[in-house]
């Protein structure tokens, strides 16, 4: 049986109305459940605040008491320390005076010793001079004796030579005389023989007389020389005796001088020994008196210290008794508070378990509703496809407007509802989805009425075909300000802008591409201000407008600088605003450090459980990378889903950091949106003018877009 087009339209309208009623009922039930849970949480918070206030008061009182006791103890310790310091100063002054006296005595003894040493050195010098003069005198005396001996020897030799020469002269004279007599006797040889014999006898007598005279003269000379030698020897003996007597006298004088010196030295030593012994006795007596004085002072100080110690001991004992009594009272109060806290904590835990069960039941209900909704959508699509095949010509006659609406409806239904499980994003068929795409800026710029938003953003039919079909992107991130959506621009108005945004979302959905609406925080020089009322109203508007669109995703608050304190609670509130209008929305949330690390992540309920269906966003640039800055990012990326909202390249390292980031994205299955499709830093030369030649970073992004969805791999080991 063939149904008419009017019947099909009514059927579709009824089904759409039924889906809306179911969603409204689900949202209403969830809001009521959240309101009840919020009421319970508020009551528990009030109880906890009251308990914390009471505990703070008790702790403050205990701290004040403890501070007073501590101050008293410190005052007592300071007094004791002052007394001890005074006693130490007195002891030090006494010791310094004693040391000064000992130093003066030591200096005096040193001076006396030095004088003694100098006197001894002078005496040694005098003795050396006397010994040297005696030695020089003895050497001179020996030289004179040796010289005298040489003179006597020379005189003897001269006397002997003179005696010999005189004997020779006499012998010569005798010979000459005999020769003269012989010459005179020669003419008488002719005389008779008798007279001649008498002459011979006379000559013989004369010769004998001469010989006798010669012998006598020689003997006289010998006797004379002997007498001279004896006289010389006697003279030498006298000289020797005189010298020996002089030497003996010198030795006796030297020995007498040495004895006198030794006597004087012994007397000086004895005098010095007596003086040193007297000084030592005086020093010993002085030391004994000082030690007695010190001992008396020490005993007095010790007795005073003992008295003070006894008093302080009594005070400490009294204080310890009072402290023990206070501690016992505090322990009793603490036990009562612990018992009360345990009861309250048990109630809180029971409430949390109930909330967890309710949340799990709601989640399971939502999963069931999603599966039913997906099943109904598949059945409807199958029925519509069959009906469209039957109608054939009726579709062509229905007109181009109806055909466009039907194609938009199918395009939106072709995108699956997304959810999270572990660190992955899954579609309705539990298939893993990795969102990879680009940033497109310009929603806040405004445009003329005769222009279209898609043309301004470079996402007209040609640009969208290049981005999705040729490059392979499956997500487009659209940053905007809250005031733009709430108030619009001078051109276009708010309604015209929202209509253009609807057309862009439909075109992206028709190209099987998700739209990520990213609300940007106001610019600030220091830290990013927290979300204001306009932020909450903007998300309420957009979540209500696109609550039936599975292709619209929500990035609640993106900042370029760290966000002010209280961001986790504010993020929870923003997520609640969106979920009240759109319970199945996939939320993107950043950290308090503006995507630099995992500070404050994951976002948690009041029960402590992580908020479900949330993806956490980060910023990746060559200068900033959570892989390098945050050591815990690796384990976080293996536990929760992660998305790089801004992946950019400065070009300073010729794309090496970007290539490394792309490899890490692929290894950890991290989704990303590269910056930017239509603004600097450009991925293509000029998307608005249809100049789609890729830049260097664009080629890196294009290669990363062509990579298949990775299987679940073990990440690189951390170095």
Contact 511/562 with Cβ under 8 angstroms?
A: no
The whole-number average pLDDT for the span 154-172 is 79
DSSP 473: -
DSSP 468: I
What would the pLDDT profile of 221-238 be if each residue is shown by its tens digit? 788 878 877 787 788 788
Can you read off the two tokens belonging to residue 17?
């109305």
Q: What is the pLDDT of residue 359?
A: 64
CA distances for 410 relative to 454, 460, 469, 629, angstroms: 21, 20, 18, 45
**Which is nearest to 130 in space by CA: 268, 266, 250, 263?**
250
Q: Distance between CA 507 and CA 461 in Å, rounded?
A: 8
Give 676-708 pLDDT, tens digit per residue.
899 988 999 999 999 999 999 999 999 999 877
DSSP secondary structure code for residue 525 in this structure: S
Where along the chain do its domains lie? 367-705
3-class SS at 66? Answer: helix
Helix (H) or strand (E) holding 402: helix 400-414
Output the DSSP codes for 552-611.
Answer: EEEEEEE-SSPBPS-HHHHHHHHHHHHHHH-TTPPEEE--TTSSSS-TT-S-B-TTSPBP
Nearest to 452 by CA among 497, 508, 495, 392: 497
Residue 385: CB atoms within 10 A of its CB come to 11
Max avg pLDDT among 244-258, 375-389, 508-522: 508-522
DSSP state of 489: -
Angstrom distances, CA of residue 559 to CA of 105, 529, 596, 628, 702? 84, 9, 11, 20, 26
Separation in Å, CA 47 to CA 40, 44, 343: 11, 5, 12
What's the Cα-to-Cα distance from 207 to each of 196, 201, 359, rounded to whole Å? 16, 10, 185
The residues facing 438 across adjacent strands are 476, 674
pLDDT bracket for residue 34 (50, 70, 90)? confident
Please, which residues bridge with residue 644 across strands? 618, 672
| CA 25, 31, 37, 39 torsion-angle sign | negative
Q: Are β-strands 671-674 and 684-686 bridged in parallel, bridged antiparallel, or unpaired?
A: unpaired
Q: How far apart are CA 621 and CA 657, in angstroms?
A: 8
Place of tokens 């997304």: 418
Is this prediction's pTM over 0.75? no
Q: Identify the band that residue 189 occupies on the pLDDT scale cut at 50, 70 and 90.
A: very low
Higher pLDDT, 651 or 681: 681
CA atoms of 352 and 366, how far apart (whole Å)? 20
The CATH architecture to which 367-705 belongs is Alpha-Beta Barrel (3.20)
pLDDT class for 666, splitting at 50, 70, 90? confident
pLDDT band with cut points at 50, 70 and 90 for residue 437? very high
**pLDDT confidence of residue 707:** 77
Q: What is the per-residue pLDDT for 370?
A: 64
Give the pLDDT of residue 313: 79
pLDDT at 410: 41
**Helix 696-705 vs helix 656-668: crossing angle, to nearest 10:** 10
pLDDT in tens, 473-514: 999 999 999 999 998 877 788 898 999 999 999 999 999 999
More confident residue, 304 or 458: 458
Beta carbons of 158 and 150 less than 8 angstroms apart: no
The DSSP annotation for 175-202 comes to HHHHHHHHHHHGGGGGS-HHHHHHHHHH
458: helix, strand or coil: coil
Q: Is 566 left (phi over 0), alpha (psi -120 to 50) or beta?
A: left
Distance of CA 251 to the CA centre of its chain: 87
Q: Is the dihedral of CA 388, 391, 395, 396 positive or negative?
A: positive
- The mean per-residue pLDDT over the stretch 324-340 comes to 77
For residue 406, pLDDT beyond 60? no
> Cα 409–413–416 angle (5° rounding)?
160
What's the token pair of residue 343? 């009861």
Q: Which two three-digit tokens encode residue 506?
A: 């439909």
**DSSP letter, residue 624:** -
- Mean pLDDT of all residues belonging to the chain: 81
pLDDT at 281: 86
CA gap 281, 291 in Å, rounded: 15
Distance (Å) of CA 220 to CA 177, 217, 224: 22, 5, 6
| Residue 681 preceded by cis peptide, ω within 30 | yes
**Are the CB atoms for 514 and 474 separated by under 8 Å?**
yes
Q: Is the pLDDT assigned to residue 469 strictly greater than 50?
A: yes
**CA pair distance 107, 441, nearest whole angstrom:** 94
DSSP character string of 333-349: HHHHHHHHHHHHHHHHH
Distance CA 221, CA 169 (A): 13
The pair of three-digit structure tokens given for residue 608, joined into one six-digit string: 């402590």
Q: Which two tokens stand for residue 487?
A: 């108030």
Query: What Cα–Cα distance (Å) separates residue 360 from each residue in 352, 365, 531?
Result: 12, 8, 29
For residue 311, give both structure tokens.
């008093």
> Please, are residues 515 and 478 in contact by the beta-carbon 8 Å criterion?
yes
Q: Is the pLDDT of residue 628 over 90?
A: no
Give the C-alpha separation, 281 to 486, whole Å: 108
**How many Å apart are CA 535 and CA 484, to the nearest integer?**
11
Is residue 485 within 8 Å of residue 535, measured between CB atoms?
A: no
**Residue that the structure tokens 């409807």 belong to:** 380
- The answer to whether residues 694 and 459 touch, using CB atoms and an 8 Å cutoff, is no
Per DSSP, the residues of 39-64 read HHHHHHHHHHHHHHHHHHHHHHHHHH
Confidence check: pLDDT of 187 > 60: no
Average pLDDT over residues 100-122: 85
Cis peptide before 686 (omega within 30 of 0): no
**For the chain, percent of residues with pLDDT exceeding 90:** 24
Question: What percent of the chain has pLDDT above 70?
Answer: 87
pLDDT of residue 717: 44
Q: For residue 170, give the nearest of 220, 205, 227 by alpha carbon.
A: 220
Coil vs helix vs strand at 549:
coil
pLDDT in tens, 268-301: 888 877 877 888 888 888 888 888 887 887 787 7
């Amino acid at each position: 049986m063939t149904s008419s087009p009017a019947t099909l339209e009514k059927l579709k309208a009824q089904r759409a109305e039924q889906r809306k009623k179911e969603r409204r009922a689900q949202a209403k039930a969830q809001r009521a459940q959240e309101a009840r849970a919020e009421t319970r949480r508020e009551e528990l918070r009030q109880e906890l605040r009251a308990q914390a206030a009471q505990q703070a008061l008790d702790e403050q009182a205990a701290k004040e008491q403890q501070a007073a006791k501590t101050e008293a103890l410190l005052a007592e310790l300071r007094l004791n320390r002052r007394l001890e310091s005074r006693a130490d100063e007195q002891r030090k002054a006494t010791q310094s005076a004693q040391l000064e006296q000992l130093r003066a005595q030591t200096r005096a003894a040193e001076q006396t010793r030095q004088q003694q040493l100098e006197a001894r050195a002078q005496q040694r010098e005098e003795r050396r001079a006397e010994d040297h003069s005696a030695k020089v005198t003895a050497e001179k005396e020996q030289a004179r004796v040796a010289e005298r001996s040489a003179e006597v020897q020379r005189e003897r030799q001269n006397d002997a030579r003179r005696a010999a020469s005189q004997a020779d002269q006499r012998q010569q004279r005798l010979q000459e005389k005999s020769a003269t007599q012989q010459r005179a006797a020669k003419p008488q040889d002719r005389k008779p023989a008798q007279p001649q014999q008498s002459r011979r006898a006379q000559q013989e007598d004369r010769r004998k007389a001469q010989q006798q005279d010669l012998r006598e003269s020689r003997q006289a000379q010998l006797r004379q020389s002997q007498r001279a030698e004896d006289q010389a020897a006697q003279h030498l003996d006298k000289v020797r005796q005189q010298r020996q007597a002089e030497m003996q006298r010198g030795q006796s004088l030297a020995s007498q001088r040495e004895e006198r010196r030794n006597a004087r030295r012994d007397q000086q030593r004895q005098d010095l020994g007596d003086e040193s012994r007297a000084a030592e006795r005086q020093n010993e007596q002085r030391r004994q008196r000082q030690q007695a004085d010190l001992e008396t002072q020490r005993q007095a100080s010790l007795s005073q210290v003992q008295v003070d110690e006894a008093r302080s001991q009594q005070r400490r004992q009294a204080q310890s008794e009072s402290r023990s009594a206070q501690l016992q009272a505090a322990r009793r109060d603490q036990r009562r508070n612990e018992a009360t806290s345990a009861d309250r904590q048990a109630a809180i835990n029971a409430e949390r378990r109930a909330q967890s069960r309710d949340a799990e039941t709601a989640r399971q209900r939502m999963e069931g509703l999603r599966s039913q909704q997906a099943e109904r959508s598949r059945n409807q699509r199958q029925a519509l496809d069959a009906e469209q095949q039957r109608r054939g010509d009726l579709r062509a006659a229905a007109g181009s407007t109806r055909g466009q609406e039907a194609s938009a409806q199918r395009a939106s239904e072709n995108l699956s509802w997304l959810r999270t499980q572990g660190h992955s994003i899954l579609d309705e068929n539990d298939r893993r989805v990795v969102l990879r795409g680009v940033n497109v800026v310009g929603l806040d710029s405004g445009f003329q009425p005769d222009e279209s938003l898609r043309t301004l953003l470079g996402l007209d039919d040609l640009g969208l075909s290049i981005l999705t079909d040729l490059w392979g992107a499956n997500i487009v991130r659209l940053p905007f300000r809250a005031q733009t959506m709430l108030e619009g621009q001078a051109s276009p108005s708010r309604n015209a802008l929202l209509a253009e945004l609807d057309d862009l979302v439909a075109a992206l959905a028709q190209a099987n591409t998700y739209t990520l609406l990213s609300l940007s925080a106001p610019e600030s020089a220091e830290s990013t201000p927290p979300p204001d009322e306009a932020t909450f109203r903007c998300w309420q508007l957009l979540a209500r407008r696109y609550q039936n669109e599975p292709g619209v995703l929500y990035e609640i608050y993106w900042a370029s600088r760290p966000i002010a304190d209280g961001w986790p609670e504010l993020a929870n509130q923003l997520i609640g605003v969106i979920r009240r209008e759109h319970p199945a929305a996939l939320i993107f949330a950043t950290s308090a450090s503006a995507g630099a690390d995992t500070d404050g992540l994951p976002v948690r309920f009041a029960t402590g459980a992580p908020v479900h269906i949330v993806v956490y966003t980060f910023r990746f640039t060559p200068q900033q990378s959570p892989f390098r800055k945050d050591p815990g990012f690796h384990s976080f990326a293996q536990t929760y889903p992660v998305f790089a909202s801004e992946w950019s390249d400065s070009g300073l390292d010729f794309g090496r950091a970007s290539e490394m980031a792309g490899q890490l994205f692929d290894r950890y299955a991290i989704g990303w949106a590269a910056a930017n499709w239509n603004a600097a830093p450009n991925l293509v030369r000029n998307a608005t003018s249809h100049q789609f030649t890729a830049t260097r970073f664009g080629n890196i992004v294009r290669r990363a877009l062509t990579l298949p969805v990775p299987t679940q791999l073990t990440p690189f080991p951390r170095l």
